[in-house]
Amino acid sequence: MPKSTFNGSKPCSSERGATTSATARRNRTVCVAPLAPFVRLAESEGVAADRLLAQLGIDRDMAANPWAFVPLELFLNAIDVLAVALDDDALGFRAGLNPDVSSYDAQAYFCGLPEVRSTIRGAFDVVRAAGHLVQPSLIEQGDDLIASMGGIPHDLPGAAHYATFTATVSVLHFRHHLGRWVPIDETHLVQQPPRDRSAFERYFGGTVHFGAAQARWRVPAVHFDRPNVFANPALAAILKRQLDARLRSREDGPGVATRVHQLLASRLNHGTSMALPQVARALGLAPRTLQQHLADSGLQFRAIVEAVRRERAERLLADATLPLSALAEALGFDDTSSLNRACRRWFGKAPSRVRFELRGERPRAGRTAREG
Tens of pLDDT, residue by residue over 285-306, are: 778 888 888 887 778 898 889 8
- Residue-level pLDDT at 135: 92
- pLDDT for 67: 59
Q: Are residues 261 and 240 in the same domain?
A: no
Kindly state whether residues 162 and 22 are assigned to the same domain.
yes
- pTM (two decimals): 0.66
Range(s) of the domain holding residue 359: 256-371
Of 137-141, 233-237, 240-244, give the range with the top mean pLDDT: 137-141
pLDDT tens for 308-346 read 898 888 888 888 888 999 999 999 898 999 999 999 988
Higher pLDDT, 340 or 14: 340
Residues 126 and 220 both lie in one domain: yes
Rounded Cα gap, residues 148 and 128, in angstroms: 13
Q: Is residue 46 part of a domain?
A: yes
Q: Please give the pLDDT value at position 76.
A: 93
- Distance between CA atoms of residues 264 and 279, nearest Å: 7
pLDDT in tens, 152-183: 998 899 999 999 999 999 999 999 999 999 99
Looking at the fold, whether 153 and 191 belong to one and the same domain comes out as yes
Which of 210, 228, 249 represents a domain boundary (last residue)?
249
Answer whether residue 367 is part of any domain: yes
Q: Is residue 350 part of a domain?
A: yes
Task: For residues 185 and 51, state if they share a domain.
Answer: yes
For 83-111, the pLDDT digits (tens) are 999 999 999 999 999 886 544 444 555 66
Query: Does residue 5 lie within any of the structural domains?
Result: no
3-state secondary structure of 160: helix
Residue at a domain's end among 217, 249, 281 = 249
Q: What is the rounded distance in angstroms from the CA atom of residue 54 to the CA atom of residue 269?
A: 12
Task: Give the residue from 116, 178, 113, 189 showing the smallest Cα distance to 149.
Answer: 189
Integer Cα distance of 240 and 62 in angstroms: 27
273 and 142 within one domain: no
Give the CATH number of the domain where residue 268 resides: 1.10.10.60
User: Cα–Cα distance between 89 and 244 in angstroms, integer?
Assistant: 38
- 245 and 357 in a single domain? The answer is no
- Tell me: pLDDT of 360 over 70: no
Same domain? For 104 and 243 the reply is yes
Domain boundary among 249, 270, 287: 249
Residues 208 and 356 both lie in one domain:
no
Question: What does pLDDT average to over the chain?
Answer: 81
Q: Is 365 helix (H, G, I), strand (E, B) or coil?
A: helix
User: How far, in Å, CA of 275 to CA of 232, rounded?
Assistant: 49
CA 351, 354, 360, 364 dihedral sign is: positive
pLDDT band of residue 126 (cuts 50, 70, 90) is: confident
Q: Is residue 7 part of a domain?
A: no
- Position 166 in a domain: yes
Answer whether residue 364 is part of any domain: yes
Mean pLDDT calculated for residue range 212-234: 90
Residue 1 lies in a domain: no
Domains of the chain: total: 2
Pair 341, 299 in one domain? yes
